[in-house]
Structure 1
Amino acid sequence: MSEIDAASASLIVPQIPSYEMKSSNPLKLGIMASGNGSNFEAIAQAIAAGQLNAQIQVLIYNNPGAKAAMRAANRGVEAVLLNHRDYKSREKFDHQIVEKLRQYDVEWVILAGWMRLLTKVLMDAFTDKVINVHPSLLPSFKGIHAVEQALAAGVKITGCTAHLACLEVDSGPILVQAAVPVLPDDTAETLHARIQIQEHRILPQAIALAAQRR
């Protein structure tokens, strides 16, 4: 195995041989993203490849310049801008999100790079049906700048976690994790890029696993 291959290798827990779903009915997903939308793309690719029995009902994004909206357009998925800056409170913002998700008949909410704290309003509307992906091996390095936190701590292995979300930031039952070695010359950018590769692998798996557990 080359150094590059070794750096990209991951340990996925639990091992899931496929994304096959017990139910014949596709999961109805609402994806929420704040930026580039690469995890949105990974989910869309898994669906298109027949690996994940789901359909994306809508993308909700909160930053007007988010590239996720362009990705959605390229996939024929309707994208809805809900700018958090237009709302007086997090609760009012989440009320609008819930209303929009229900309008699109969403069953599962996927936080794919959503950079806003959730409130009880949204969590109660989709109890145990909100999935988040975070760039660390939780419970280590919660919150923002997780990759920088890992580098500052000097850890030799970090990674990413897909989990059921709860009100506490980056907490909740873990569904899938992938470990990524930290190289001696890593920067936040190089390490994050390799972690994202693993995020793209585990998030569709986590969606299938969560649905199977219901």
Structure 2
Amino acid sequence: EIRQHLADYYAMISHVDDAVGRILSALERSGKLENTIIVYAADNGLAVGSHGFMGKQNLYEDSVRVPLIISGSGIPEGKTVDQYVYLSDIFPTLCQLCDVEIPASVEGKSMLPVIENGQAIHDSLYLAYEGKVRAVKKAPYKLIEYRTDKMRRTQLFDMEKDPYEQDDLSEEEGLAEVRRSLALLLEDYNEKLDDCRHRIGREFWKNYRKTEER
């Protein structure tokens, strides 16, 4: 069964690769390739066995990280930048690259500073899965909090030393302050984004506060 899942997954990757190639070929034939900005991204990926999961119902890196490649006029060729971004940052980036005014309602940030000089536009990231799991990333650490009516669990990972998230450091006494500061950052994001008032976020924060009070 696992071999079949993997075969299906990699077959889809081959299919997407072929489709992208056909799009690029069509743009080249039409003479529009040099005047086109191409963005390659994806939905959150399947875990295909990592951490014992097959789906993407988790906040481990295997599922929350997605490919993001931008090519076209104004984009440095062959450059890779290691900075935090959200997919919601793509739209304002394209607006800026095309000299279109960014609508006031847009919550994302343009990635142009990242693209041009590697300048950070986010110093941390907020991650969510349904009403069960929330996480924050702030280099080099990542804090994951699980809260349901029946479960309370915390995980802490050093993403530089442990990129595959195998070594949970949440009970390390020497990292108590790191864990506390990330927990405060998590709550700050809740207030900033009004997560606890949303239908999905309400369930997590109800259980989060309940367990913290205990």
Instruction: Give the helix-richer structure, 1 or 2.
Output: 2
Whether these two folds match at TM > 0.5 is no
**Higher RCO, Cα 8 Å, sep 6+:** 1
Larger Rg: 2
With normalisation by structure 2, the TM-score equals 0.21
Instruction: Give the strand-richer structure, 1 or 2.
Output: 1
With normalisation by structure 1, the TM-score equals 0.21
